[in-house]
Structure 1
């Protein structure tokens, strides 16, 4: 990804930067870790099944 997709990237509009920070604060408060190179990518910090891939239909 381009550096613009990173957390804290320069060149992002103020509204967009504020939205990214807001999302990050919510996600981290709920137990997720951010991936520094993609502002939209988070992982559950205490994943209960870290080595399990769930593949089943929903609905």
Structure 2
């Protein structure tokens, strides 16, 4: 999961979007994996750029957002 977040962060940084990791993954990093999660929460103002990158990586939009 951390590797996926790193890849996304690198791709976003190339487009001047600086996401912030939040939620369970942040807690997992902080507690050195004492807490586990199955998703990645990021906060950013680059929604359109993020959506484009995820689409190029073949992620599919599912759910309410």
The answer to which structure has the higher helix fraction is 2
TM-score, reference length from structure 2: 0.34
TM-score, reference length from structure 1: 0.37
**Which of structures 1 and 2 has the bigger CA Rg?**
1
The answer to which structure has the higher strand fraction is 1
